[in-house]
Chain A
Amino acid sequence: MSESQVSSAESPAIPRVPVFSPGRIWVLTTSTFTQLVRMKTFYFLIVFAILVAGASNLNLLYTSAQKLRMLKDASFGAMSIFSWLFAIAATAVLIPRDLEDRTLYTILAKPVPRLEYLLGKLFGVLLTIGVALVVMQILFTGFLFFREVTVLAEERQSLEAQGMSAEDIRAQLELVRAQGVQWQLIYALIAIFLKASVVAAVTMLVSTFASSTLFTMIVATIVFVVGHFHKLAAGYWMHELSGSLVAKLVVKPIVMIIPDFRVFNVTENIVGGTPVDAGTMLTLAGLALLYVAVYSAVALYLFIDKEF
């Protein structure tokens, strides 16, 4: 028996800790989800249900198609606001809260790499947003379905009273149906989720160097707002200050660093009925994934040797 064999037989076996563990990330993700649910996040769904019910009963001088379109616009608008607002607020409070509760020290004292901690927190926020969006979509689809049935019946009755031919009635009802429940609306939901993912990743990056929650929220909101029009503004400034060094040194880096959220605004037109294919959505998902990966990497770079 060799010396090493003797020593291993005598000392208790040390379990091998994997360098990267999806299981550990999942545990952090679910605990973050629970933490956020306990913050009464899902109460927003009550507000959402009231809003959708209100929008579906609004009878303005609309055509049948417009009635359905307005319900969709109001619902997806609310989903969009909820998702980015939640992505900023929830991500901004997570790390400071863990610090305040001393949970962060307990977690980092264990063999949990900081990358896993950050990913667990981010995925927890995304899981909460995802669940909330799915519930909102189900609620909204129910309202839209019943509204569609009512509106179609009214429209058919009105067209028949006008003495329209069956062929014309069918064509007209098809136009109304195009604004009703469609599979394509799932793509709009995905686009909202992708945008919220990028917002959450940006917020997490800011929170790794921010000194307070308020600072994180303000900076993330500014990035979000600027990210919607910085390319438009940059185009204007570059034109006005053509060739100037200021334009090159100030405007260009800002455009490079801040994400272009306008790309994710496809939701508006998908809801309006513009056709979209799976390939387009895959490209959009790829871009969002790239953003999340790079911002998480930079967040890790800042967080990895941060002292608490």
Chain B
Amino acid sequence: MKLGRIARKTIGALAILLVFGLVKAPLENGMTRRYVESGLIAEVAATELSSAVGQSTMLAVLGGLRPLVAIYTTLHAFDAWSFREWDTVERDYRLITTMMPEDIDSWVTGSWHMAYNASASARYDDPSVPEAVAEKNGRDWMLKGVAFIKKGIQQNPESAKLHEELARIYWKDKLDEPCLAAEEYQESLKLGPTKTFIRRFYGYFLSKCPGHEREAYDYLMDLYREGKKQRLPSLISRIKAMEEALKIPQAERIPDPDPDREIRKEYPNAQLPFD
């Protein structure tokens, strides 16, 4: 008798829940789709993530504790960084960005570790490594940083900051790719918000890109004509260099003194920005 009642109740309860499930499914699926489209719910790459983390971490990530797992992994990466364990730092940042692909700062920090810290460490930390090998290893880390941030751009195509950081890697240190740097600054400008220094940087690197000197000179002159706020020593010095390179007639040259010349008088071997 009692068993019969329990069975009847169980079937009844399951039936109500099933009917409710059928009714709410389209509503819930629609909401999930809309939230994913508007970026309110992150689409975690489950396959990629499950191969990188344990089951319990995977559950925590899916269970709404993604940011907490990311904080823990960031602390872990910080620890690895202080011991110069670059492979661990790389793995941790790949994990963080898999968990939180929308977090621009993590893409930036990860690429910074690879392209700057790991790269410099590979070049200079071990004197027993032959110079050519150290140089190659350093460059490899820089290229890893570039590939990492490019993946970030792929996942966040609207981020101006990622383009700005990629441009910085292209011109920093020994990668020396002024054309690519100019291209990335231009992308960053398209996406905004416009930062005045990025406009100048775009002009500076365009001026170093072979075949674009005249275009760069016109662009820099437009900035110069905007008035005092753009007439920084770096702009004036770059225009002066372009005037020489393009053999601009004296009458068309800007009247300002070349700030680099003053510095070079005192420090002839000084390495100046954008040299």
Q: Which residues of A contact B (CB under 8 A)?
A: 60-63, 65-66, 69-70, 73-74, 76-77, 80-81, 163-165, 167-168, 171-172, 174, 195, 209, 224-225, 228-229, 231-232, 253, 255-257, 260-272, 274, 276, 280, 283-284, 287, 290-291, 294, 297-298, 301-302
Q: Are A268 and B195 in contact (CB under 8 A)?
A: no
Q: Are B67 and A268 in contact (CB under 8 A)?
A: yes
Q: Are A165 and B64 in contact (CB under 8 A)?
A: no
**Taking the complex as formed, is B265 at the interface, i.e. its CB lies under 8 A from any CB of chain A?**
no
Q: Are A266 and B195 in contact (CB under 8 A)?
A: no
What are the residues of chain A within 8 A of B31 when measuring CB–CB? 263, 283-284, 287
Shortest 7 CB-CB contacts between residues of A and residues of B? A256-B21, A73-B67, A77-B68, A266-B40, A229-B62, A228-B62, A66-B105
A257-B64 contact in complex given A165-B229, A171-B195, A287-B31, C-beta closer than 8 Å: no
C-alpha gap A256/B14 in the complex (Å): 10
Q: Are A168 and B196 in contact (CB under 8 A)?
A: yes
C-alpha gap A218/B103 in the complex (Å): 34
**Taking the complex as formed, is B7 at the interface, i.e. its CB lies under 8 A from any CB of chain A?**
no
C-alpha gap A283/B64 in the complex (Å): 19
C-alpha gap A61/B62 in the complex (Å): 27
Q: Are A294 and B20 in contact (CB under 8 A)?
A: yes
Which B-chain residue is minimally distant from A167 (CB atoms)? B196
C-alpha gap A259/B105 in the complex (Å): 33
Q: Are B64 and A264 in contact (CB under 8 A)?
A: yes
In B77-113, which residues have CB < 8 Å from any A CB? 78, 81, 100, 102-103, 105, 108-109
What are the residues of chain A within 8 A of B35 when measuring CB–CB? 263, 266, 280
Q: Are A257 and B78 in contact (CB under 8 A)?
A: no
**Taking the complex as formed, is B38 at the interface, i.e. its CB lies under 8 A from any CB of chain A?**
yes
C-alpha gap A223/B172 in the complex (Å): 52
A60-B78 contact in complex given A228-B62, A301-B13, A302-B13, C-beta closer than 8 Å: yes
Q: Are A287 and B21 in contact (CB under 8 A)?
A: no
Closest beta carbon of chain A to B164's beta carbon, Å: 11
What are the residues of chain B within 8 A of A232 when measuring CB–CB? 46, 62
What are the residues of chain A within 8 A of B32 when measuring CB–CB? 231, 260, 262-263
**19 A-B pairs, CB-CB below 8 angstroms?**
A61-B78, A62-B105, A63-B105, A73-B70, A76-B67, A77-B68, A163-B232, A167-B195, A172-B195, A256-B17, A256-B25, A260-B28, A262-B41, A265-B66, A267-B64, A268-B66, A272-B100, A287-B24, A301-B13
A274-B38 contact in complex given A65-B105, A257-B21, C-beta closer than 8 Å: yes
Which B-chain residue is minimally distant from A277 (CB atoms)? B38
Q: Are A269 and B40 in contact (CB under 8 A)?
A: yes
What are the residues of chain A within 8 A of B14 when measuring CB–CB? 257
What are the residues of chain A within 8 A of B232 when measuring CB–CB? 163
**Taking the complex as formed, is B190 at the interface, i.e. its CB lies under 8 A from any CB of chain A?**
no
Encode B2-35 as 1/0 by CB contact (under 8 A) with A. 0000000110111011101110110110011011
Q: Are B16 and A294 in contact (CB under 8 A)?
A: yes
Cβ contact of B28, chosen from A257, A263, A270, cutoff 8 A: A263
What are the residues of chain A within 8 A of B64 when measuring CB–CB? 80, 195, 228, 261, 264-265, 267-268
Q: Are B16 and A301 in contact (CB under 8 A)?
A: yes
C-alpha gap A209/B59 in the complex (Å): 27
What are the residues of chain A within 8 A of B12 when measuring CB–CB? 301
Encode B33-64 as 1/0 by CB contact (under 8 A) with A. 01100111110001000000000000100111
Closest beta carbon of chain B to A281's beta carbon, Å: 10
Q: Are B102 and A80 in contact (CB under 8 A)?
A: no
Q: Are B24 and A290 in contact (CB under 8 A)?
A: yes
Q: Are A302 and B9 in contact (CB under 8 A)?
A: yes
Q: Are A74 and B68 in contact (CB under 8 A)?
A: yes
**Taking the complex as formed, is B74 at the interface, i.e. its CB lies under 8 A from any CB of chain A?**
yes
**Taking the complex as formed, is B65 at the interface, i.e. its CB lies under 8 A from any CB of chain A?**
yes
Closest beta carbon of chain A to B106's beta carbon, Å: 8
C-alpha gap A76/B32 in the complex (Å): 21
C-alpha gap A267/B42 in the complex (Å): 11
Closest beta carbon of chain B to A299's beta carbon, Å: 9
Q: Are B13 and A269 in contact (CB under 8 A)?
A: no
What are the residues of chain B within 8 A of A264 when measuring CB–CB? 64
Q: Are A228 and B63 in contact (CB under 8 A)?
A: yes
**Taking the complex as formed, is B270 at the interface, i.e. its CB lies under 8 A from any CB of chain A?**
no
Q: Are B18 and A73 in contact (CB under 8 A)?
A: no
Q: Are A60 and B75 in contact (CB under 8 A)?
A: yes
Closest beta carbon of chain A to B250's beta carbon, Å: 30
C-alpha gap A163/B234 in the complex (Å): 12
What are the residues of chain B within 8 A of A80 when measuring CB–CB? 64-65
What are the residues of chain A within 8 A of B211 when measuring CB–CB? none
What are the residues of chain A within 8 A of B127 when measuring CB–CB? none
What are the residues of chain A within 8 A of B9 when measuring CB–CB? 209, 301-302
Of the listed residues A232, A274, A287, the one surrounded by the most CB atoms of chain B closer than 10 A to its CB is A274
What are the residues of chain A within 8 A of B17 when measuring CB–CB? 256-257, 294, 298
C-alpha gap A299/B74 in the complex (Å): 43
